[in-house]
Amino acid sequence: MSARFTVAIDLSKFKHTASLIDTETGEAAQSLTFKVNEVGFMQFDQLLRSFSTDPNDFIIGCEATGHYGETLLRRLQTQGYAIVRMNPAQVAQFRRGLGRKAKTDALDAEAMAKQLSVTNWVIDQAISQPLRQLRSLTRLRLDFVEEQSRWINRIRAVINQIYPEIEPLLKNLTTATSMAILTHYPSRQLLAEADLSELTALVQKASRQNKGADFAIQLKQTAQNSVGLDDSCLEVELRIMMQQFTTIANSIREIEREIRQYTELIFAGYSKRLDLDEPLTLSSFPYGNYLTIATLLSELGDINRFPSIKQLLSYLGWCPNTQESGMSQVKHPRMSHRGNRFARRIVWLMSVGAVRWVKEYQTYFHQRIDAGKNKMKTLVAIGRKLLSVFYAVLKTGQPYDPQRYLERLSLPIAS
């Protein structure tokens, strides 16, 4: 997309610096530093209007480095301006290529504006409120899960001092049964002296009747014979950590409920747009739960922004990084590391899960392995297939057909 003017904004917390370049002359026309408030935004708006009142005459770009620019960028998108979120690594590389040693906000903005004027960019698409909310929720959940993992490790360290023999019995510390036991009995002595009927009732309720008196007896005997420490400081520490851990676990469950609701809302939107008799559901896809499908939906945005599956794969970086020089060409290049890291992570996890649980993908995986193909490259190929199906389902509204897929597997595997 070409434009009469390119504008780059160097973002910061309290003020932004913008540089405007006339693409016909290639010279910097004007720069402006303005505050992140209504007065500052009006100053920036006046700068743009002093050159043209038509938003189509501009491309406005900034580094995709965080949240500082969201208030301004969404405002500009609402006004009809084309927004580009620039890769920070590419911006830094271009700036070094200019040969400048000095570095200021104004110089950085000018360099980005020049880069915008000589490079083809993908315009950032404004996404709907449900997609924006879904993206926020899936990323928030990931933050909470990572935080939960840190607390699990700290809890495990204390348990190994209080009653080290109990962890093999509990196996998974995040289950409702494990959390209930550790919360009510945060020391070896409390568990060893626990009333058996109360312990049994707690276990039965927490496990939904999956465990009962036998498990309670085993827990009590393990605590009685434990080599753990009777340390009141450790007991206090475990009690406090379990409170924090429980809060995080409850927050994750609440986020997951919201994710499910927004995912169904987006499914309904696609189904209405495609005028489907049977609305899209999770079963329309070959593999995935609400979390994985929601992450892809939110990170990709409206699927119609990608005219072809190749463009979607390129956007995610789920493709080889071409390496050529003269007559030399790397036949088996490494995967590109460009693209959305949240979506790439989910695609990889879905590939692993599909090989484990979906018959047709198991068949394809073993066919390639038997043909001497690399396991990791095969998982990459499966990820591509999953993305292709995901793209096709949202584009056409036709659910995934396992039988049709298995029929295609009878074809020879390409080298």
pLDDT digits (tens, 9 = 90+) for 144-160: 999 999 999 999 999 99
Extents of the domains making up the chain? 5-118, 138-250, 282-408
Q: What angle do CA 392, 398, 403 make, to 5 degrees?
A: 95
5-118 folds as Nucleotidyltransferase; domain 5 (3.30.420)
Residue 128: phi and psi, rounded to 5, are -70, 160
> What pLDDT score was predicted for residue 106?
87
pLDDT digits (tens, 9 = 90+) for 38-58: 999 999 999 999 999 999 999
pLDDT digits (tens, 9 = 90+) for 291-327: 999 999 999 988 988 889 988 888 887 766 555 555 5
138-250 folds as Helix Hairpins (1.10.287)
Is residue 415 predicted with pLDDT exceeding 50?
A: no
pLDDT digits (tens, 9 = 90+) for 110-127: 889 999 888 877 788 778
pLDDT digits (tens, 9 = 90+) for 167-201: 999 988 889 999 999 999 999 999 999 999 999 99
Q: Which residue has the tokens 């409920």?
A: 257
Is residue 377 predicted with pLDDT exceeding 70?
A: yes
* Higher per-residue confidence, 412 vs 300: 300
Q: What angle do CA 279, 283, 287 make, to 5 degrees?
A: 140
Task: Please report, for the chain, how many H helices and E strands are present, in that order.
Answer: 17, 7
